Every structure is written in structure tokens, then in C-alpha cells.
């Protein structure tokens, strides 16, 4: 069953964040993931949400967890944490 990492992001330091964002696609692909949404223009219909979103599809929840916990991703995670306020979750697909 596919699983999706969904992130809502408010970038606080764009110059620093670009270093993180530029490395995520390649690392996710190595783990079987593919970005379905990465930034892009948003059209808010209801509520209050972050100003940037990302959705990454993985073949399974375990593959998503393995990517998140990988040495490669953990090496760039501190950049994201200092350059943005965000939430990150895994949602299982149908």
C-alpha cells in the first residue's frame, strides 16, 4: 500500500532552505519515493495553512520511514529545522 509524506512548511530563511530543498528529490528517489508536490502555487479554499507544501509518494509506510531515518536525510534535516517551521506526517494511501 502506498504511503505519502506530507509536509506543510513556512520557510523562515530562504537562502538556507534552498540548500535543503535541493537535496531532497535525489535522496527520496533512492528510497523509492517520488515528489508529487514540491512548492508550487497554492489556492487556499478554507482555513489557515503553511505557505509551502510537499507530498512525496513511497511504495509503503516502511519505505517512507526508512527514507526519513536514513543517514542521507538525517544529514540535511538540521538545515530544514533551522530554516523553516513545518509539520511532516506520513499518511497511508488506499
- Where do the domains of the chain lie? 3-42+49-92
- Rounded Cα–Cα distance for residues 28 and 16 (Å): 20
What is 3-42+49-92's CATH number, 1.10.1660.10, 3.40.50.2000, 3.30.360.10, 3.30.70.100?
3.30.70.100
Mean pLDDT of 72-93: 97
Give me 35's grid cell.
515528489
pLDDT in tens, 12-70: 999 999 999 999 999 999 999 999 999 889 998 999 889 999 999 999 999 999 999 99
* Closest to 67 in 3D by CA, of 80, 52, 77: 77
* Closest to 6 in 3D by CA, of 52, 75, 63: 52
pTM to 2 decimal places: 0.91
73 band by pLDDT with thresholds 50, 70 and 90:
very high
Q: How far apart are the first and last CA of the chain?
A: 7
What pLDDT is stored for residue 34 in this prediction? Answer: 97
What pLDDT is stored for residue 49 in this prediction? Answer: 86
What pLDDT is stored for residue 13 in this prediction? Answer: 97
CB 7 within 8 A of CB 54: yes
CB 83 within 8 A of CB 17: yes
Residue with cell 528529490: 25
What pLDDT is stored for residue 48 in this prediction? Answer: 86
Amino acid at each position: 500500500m502506498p504511503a505519502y509524506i506530507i509536509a506543510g512548511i513556512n520557510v523562515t530563511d530562504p537562502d538556507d532552505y534552498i540548500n535543503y530543498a535541493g537535496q531532497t528529490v535525489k535522496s527520496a528517489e533512492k528510497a523509492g519515493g517520488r515528489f508529487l508536490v514540491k512548492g508550487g502555487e497554492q489556492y487556499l479554499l478554507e482555513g489557515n495553512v503553511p505557505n509551502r507544501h510537499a507530498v512525496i509518494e513511497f511504495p509503503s509506510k516502511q519505505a517512507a520511514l526508512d527514507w526519513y531515518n536514513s543517514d542521507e536525510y538525517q544529514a540535511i534535516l538540521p538545515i530544514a529545522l533551522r530554516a523553516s517551521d513545518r509539520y511532516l506526517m506520513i499518511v497511508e494511501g488506499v
